[in-house]
């Protein structure tokens, strides 16, 4: 019976955490029940307990109902640690606005007398192209995390993040505290610079010009991606945040003139096209090669597969080249493209992870599962001397479920290398049972 009560109390605690405004009401109800129970059990200065029927507030019947309930079966109901497991950390915002604020505060913890980032970037919550293009401003030396505005206003969560981050401006930001991209709302009280454009390609070009003006340097590479397929463009944001490389836009069957002019401006800079032919067809790719003869295409059909291909890719100094264990990763849902911009600071510090995608909130799709399993870390004798993987998950359980997180945690867990029976084993093949946990040394 005590165990059942414990389950029930765990449920109540979990509910209270999720429903803060209801907490006061619940506490009042519980206080009334406690008073009623005290009177019913013989309180009231030692007088006999009342013989009349208890009121609804004082009736102990609710306790008996709790005792009769069966323990919840779902892990989330048992208090499963959905915000962090051994190998994962979740930024559990209900939308990209909340995720951007959470990531910015995680990437730049300004408490303890630590200075926040020199500046912030503000992007409208409906403009995913601006968010992905602006990710190059996250990279050093600018170092400005992305926050989101909505309906020509600065939302409360963004405003709170701005207050906590308190960007001072620096020489690397031209003393600006905020860069306002496209149609984003401008915060009051900050020294801001607006970056305008009439199309995604124009805004991306303006961001490229701004970063070059701030840094005084040519980019090392250029990433071109489609302006109509957000789930294929999302991985470009993490690379831009890591490298500072600009992200410029092309159409499925054409190259905007402003992008042509940018390629001419950077005529000696290597160019990479992110996405398969369904996103950037052969016709614009040939036009790109006329301007940049060494241009390469990176990508696969399918957003999940495309993100994995980009995470694996390497060409000289370009590309994540993550083909072995011991790295960080970021996973977002491809249906929420602004989460790529929100999560960009996680790729510019800490575990420096590429952005991977899922098209299924319930469980990791095969391409993602296979990639994580291929990079599963292992050890021979001493796990404390092993390398480790860590995965950031972006969004609440509607974007990425708790069972999904549990599976990713197991895929990222370091495992003992087993040999002598058909080779080494770092983890099971997709669709087969996971190996048992090794004994603790």
Q: What is the mean pLDDT of the chain?
A: 84
133: helix, strand or coil: helix
DSSP 327-394: -EEEEEETT-THHHHHTGGGGSSTT-PPEEEES-SSS--HHHHHHHHHT--EESS-GGGS---EEEEE
Sheet containing strand 146-149, strands side by side: 146-149, 120-124, 178-181, 192-195
| Neighbour-count burial for 327-345, b at 16+ CB within 10 Å, e otherwise | bbbbbbbbebbbbbbbbbb
Question: Higher pLDDT residue, 381 or 42?
Answer: 381
pLDDT at 421: 43
Strand pairing partners for 147? 122
pLDDT at 331: 98
DSSP 154: -
Q: Which helix (H) or strand (E) holds 20?
A: helix 20-40
Domain boundaries, the chain: 2-74, 88-403
Neighbours of 233 (CB within 10 A): 29
**Could you tell me what percent of the chain has a pLDDT over 70?**
76
- Given a cut of 80, whether residue 19 has pLDDT beyond it is no
Question: Higher pLDDT residue, 302 or 434?
Answer: 302
Give the sign of the dihedral formed by CA 91, CA 96, CA 102, CA 108.
Answer: positive
Question: Higher pLDDT residue, 44 or 112?
Answer: 112
Q: Which residue in the block uniquely carries the two structure tokens 């109540």? A: 12
Give the sign of the dihedral formed by CA 284, CA 286, CA 290, CA 295.
Answer: positive
For residue 374, give Cα distances in angstroms to 239, 355, 377, 425: 21, 17, 9, 11
- Given a cut of 60, whether residue 367 has pLDDT beyond it is yes
- What is the model's pTM? 0.79
Q: How far apart are CA 183 and CA 150, in angstroms?
A: 9
Q: How far apart are CA 351 and CA 392, in angstroms?
A: 10
| Neighbour-count burial for 382-400, b at 16+ CB within 10 Å, e otherwise | ebeebebbbbbbbbbbebb
What are the respective helix, strand and coil percentages of the chain, to the nearest 5?
40, 15, 45
Q: How far apart are CA 115 and CA 110, in angstroms?
A: 5
pLDDT confidence band for 80 (50 / 70 / 90): very low
pLDDT at 342: 98
- Given a cut of 90, whether residue 321 has pLDDT beyond it is yes
pLDDT at 81: 54
- Asked if omega into 405 is within 30° of 0 (cis), the reply is no
- Pairing outcome for strands 378-379 and 355-358: unpaired
Question: Higher pLDDT residue, 5 or 332?
Answer: 332
> 27-73, pLDDT tens digit by residue?
333 344 343 433 333 444 433 344 343 333 333 333 333 334 444 44
The angle subtended at Cα 315 by Cα 300 and Cα 128, nearest 5°, is 50
Q: Which helix (H) or strand (E) holds 23?
A: helix 20-40
> 146-185, pLDDT tens digit by residue?
999 999 999 999 999 999 999 999 999 999 999 999 999 9
Q: How far apart are CA 252 and CA 15, in angstroms?
A: 47
Q: How far apart are CA 187 and CA 438, in angstroms?
A: 53
Kindly state the average pLDDT of the residues 257-277.
Answer: 98
> 212-249, pLDDT tens digit by residue?
999 999 999 999 999 999 999 999 999 999 999 999 99
């Amino acid at each position: 019976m005590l165990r059942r009560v414990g389950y029930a109390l765990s449920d109540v605690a979990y509910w209270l955490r999720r429903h803060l405004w209801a907490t006061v009401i619940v506490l009042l109800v519980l206080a009334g029940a406690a008073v009623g129970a005290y009177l019913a059990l013989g309180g009231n200065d030692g007088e006999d307990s009342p013989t009349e029927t208890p009121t609804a507030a004082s009736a102990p019947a609710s306790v008996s109902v709790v005792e009769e309930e069966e323990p919840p079966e779902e892990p989330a109901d048992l208090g499963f640690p959905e915000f962090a497991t051994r190998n994962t950390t979740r930024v559990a915002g209900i939308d990209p606005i909340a995720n951007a604020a959470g990531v910015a505060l995680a990437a730049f913890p300004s408490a303890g007398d630590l200075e926040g980032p020199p500046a912030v970037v503000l992007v409208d919550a409906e403009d995913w192209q601006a968010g992905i293009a602006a990710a190059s401003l996250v990279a050093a030396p600018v170092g400005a995390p992305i926050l989101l505005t909505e309906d020509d206003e600065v939302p409360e969560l963004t405003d709170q993040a701005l207050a906590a981050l308190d960007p001072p401006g620096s020489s690397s930001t031209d003393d600006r505290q905020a860069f306002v991209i496209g149609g984003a709302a401008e915060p009051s009280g900050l020294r801001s610079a607006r970056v305008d454009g009439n199309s995604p390609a124009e805004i991306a070009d303006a961001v490229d010009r701004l970063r070059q003006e701030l840094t005084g340097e040519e980019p090392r590479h250029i990433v071109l991606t489609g302006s109509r397929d957000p789930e294929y463009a999302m991985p470009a944001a993490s690379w831009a945040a890591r490298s500072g490389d600009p992200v410029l836009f092309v159409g499925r069957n054409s190259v905007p003139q402003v992008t042509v002019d940018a390629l001419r401006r950077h005529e000696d800079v290597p160019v990479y096209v992110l996405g398969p032919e369904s996103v950037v067809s052969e016709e614009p790719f040939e036009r790109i090669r006329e301007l940049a003869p060494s241009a390469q295409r990176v990508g696969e059909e399918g957003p999940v597969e495309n993100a994995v291909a980009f995470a694996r890719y390497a060409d000289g100094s370009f590309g994540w080249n993550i083909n072995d264990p011991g790295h960080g990763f970021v996973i977002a849902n491809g249906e929420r493209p602004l989460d790529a911009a929100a999560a960009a600071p996680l790729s510019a510090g800490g575990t420096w992870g590429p952005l991977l995608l899922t098209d299924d909130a319930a469980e990791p799709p095969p391409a993602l599962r296979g990639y994580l399993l291929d990079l599963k870390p292992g050890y021979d004798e001493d796990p404390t001397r092993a390398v480790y993987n860590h995965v950031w998950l972006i969004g609440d359980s509607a974007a990425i479920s708790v069972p999904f997180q549990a599976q990713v945690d197991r895929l990222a867990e370091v495992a003992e290398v087993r040999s002598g029976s058909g080779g080494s084993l770092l983890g099971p093949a997709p669709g087969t049972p996971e190996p048992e946990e090794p004994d603790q040394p």
